[in-house]
Structure 1
Amino acid sequence: MNNIDLKKLMEKIINGENIVILDVRSKVQYNEGHIEGAVNIPMSNLAIEMDDLDMNKEIIVYCNSGKVSIGATLFLLDKGFNVKNLKGGFEEYKNCQLDIT
């Protein structure tokens, strides 16, 4: 499985790497809080909306805990995307964001 941890994701963001951060949670969850710069395509819409994603960019997928996003990661890998799953998901981000400055 292609996983990435929060520290490596934050390094990519700080270094200005050309990545897509994909939130596969519901619109309601996304609106309640998300990783800055993330695009929201709920898991239930991914097959329909995946054409909106750039095949030439690395995609980092997350959900709440990192479990649902595993399915999204496997689906996108199968479609030829360069994709990684964020270990720990949004919960990890929320718990650690104060330490990341």
Structure 2
Amino acid sequence: MKKLVGVLMLLAAMLFMVVPAMADDGVDGISDYVHAAQAPGNGPRLDIAPGIYGHIAARADAFLANGGRTIFATDLLVRMVSGEKLFLMDIRSKADYDKAHIPGAVSIPFADAAKPANLAMLPKDGTPIVTICYTGHTASQTNAILNLLGYNAWSLRFGIMGWNKETNMKVWSSKVSQIIYGAGYTTEATQ
């Protein structure tokens, strides 16, 4: 027990020495981290000016403080029917997109979502971008990345599963599929 207390006290002392040293520049230690990362011998030099990390941190804070930015299929349909300008970004595989996708969606597979050519296709005027994947998980990751880059992105809650009438998916077992029920809205196939 005495050894555990000693180790904990040592860790606490180290924490009190490191944290103030990282926070002395008024930017919560971000520039210290950047300068350390750019020091010789620490891998490739970062080409991004240290100030950009403050902007990214502010966007990350705003994104996390606002609850993840998801939209349910019913709400998305209402917005689509009302004629609201939306950019639907389907990040599933091209083959699955071609089989069935939400009308008006554009295929930008997850692995290619942050490539400059694909980012250039996204609206920069504040138009909501709705990311669509299979279950909502990967769309949430893409949503976070796009928000950090300054886009107005949202993820479709439960992905295409939440949009379709039903989806066969292995949820509780890697061997047995279950039927997952969704909203039952229409999809279209690529010609």
The TM-score with structure 1 as length reference comes to 0.93
Aligned length: 99
The TM-score with structure 2 as length reference comes to 0.50
1:29 is the counterpart of 2:116: no
Give the match for residue 52 of structure 1.
Answer: 121
Which of 87, 101, 122 is the matching residue for 1:20?
Answer: 87
Would you tell me which structure has more strand in proportion to its own residues? 1
Q: Distance in 1 between matches of 2:119 and 2:140?
A: 16
Q: Partner letter of residue 184 of structure 2?
A: Q
Q: Partner letter of residue 25 of structure 1?
A: R
Q: Partner letter of residue 71 of structure 1?
A: Q
The superposition leaves residues 28-54 of structure 1 with CA deviations (integer Å, 9 ceiling, x where unpaired) of: 110010001101100100111112111
Q: Partner letter of residue 67 of structure 1?
A: H
RMSD: 1.3
Structure 2 CA distance for partners of 1:11 and 1:79, relative to 1, 3 Å: same
Alignment of 1:61-76 (within 5 A): 61-76=131-146
Give the CA deviation at 1:97.
2.4
Identity of aligned residues (%): 26
Contact persistence 2:91–2:132 (CA under 8 A): yes
Alignment of 1:84-95 (within 5 A): 84-95=154-165
Give the match for residue 2 of structure 1.
Answer: 69
**Unpaired segments ≥5 residues, structure 1:** none
Q: Distance in 1 between matches of 2:158 and 2:94?
A: 19
Give the CA deviation at 1:91.
1.1
Q: Distance in 2 between matches of 1:58 and 1:98?
A: 20
